[in-house]
Amino acid sequence: MPAIVLASTSPYRRMLLEKVLPDFICAAPHVDETAGQGEAAEVLVERLAIAKARALADDFPNHLLIGSDQVAVVDGRILGKPGNAENAIDQLTAAKGKTVTFYTGLAVYHSGQDELLSCVEPFQVTFRKLSAAEIKGYVELEQPFNCAGSFKSEGLGISLFESLRGDDPNSLVGLPVIQLLKMLRHWQVNPLLPENNTKS
């Protein structure tokens, strides 16, 4: 079985992958994440996921490289990582009482075979009609500055929502695990089979 590399330094993606795979490497892909002029969210996240997976091919020449990227879209506006409290409050204020679509791009590249699989996983979140005090309190408590959409759904962020709709709640955290495992099975990587699972 080829070794697996997660082309990400995100602790959230690493946490999700650790739940299903016993052994993998994390590495930073160093990809420019700037959106193209007029680039649609779905196109952007798939392009970046592919770029991240391919970026490490020279360093890992016979590996399965996993790339992922995520943005949120509200009223046609793409929301990335806020970076600071002011931007996080602005994003959550824009989202209150609305349905926000999160697009997560996923790519798995077999560098030894030059074979690529990719997809985009959508997930919809309807936010409550949050008060300014709730938004400010949430941002102060969780400081979600490196999270697209300015929340951590696996933490207190769940209190911001009215409802969730989608096929894989893991995609909201940043990695569509159901689709990822489907792609890995294409290369006979299956954590349910003893030969693929070295956990003690």
Rounded CA gap, 125 and 18, in Å? 25
106 three-state secondary structure: strand
Count CA atoms within 13 Å of residue 46 on its CB side: 12
Amino acid identity for residue 94 in this structure: A
Q: What is the 3-state secondary structure (H, E, C) of 67-90?
A: EEEEEEEECCEEECCCCCHHHHHH
Residues near 193 by beta carbon (within 8 Å), at least 6 away in sequence: none
Residue from 59, 69, 75, 90 carrying the catalytic annotation: 69
Share of the chain residues as helix, strand and coil, in percent rounded to the nearest 5: 35, 25, 40
- Provide the pairing of β-strand 3-6 with 25-26: parallel
Residue listed under structure tokens 């400081």: 143
Residue 22: DSSP 8-state: S
Among this protein's residues, is 167 annotated catalytic? no
Active site residues: 69
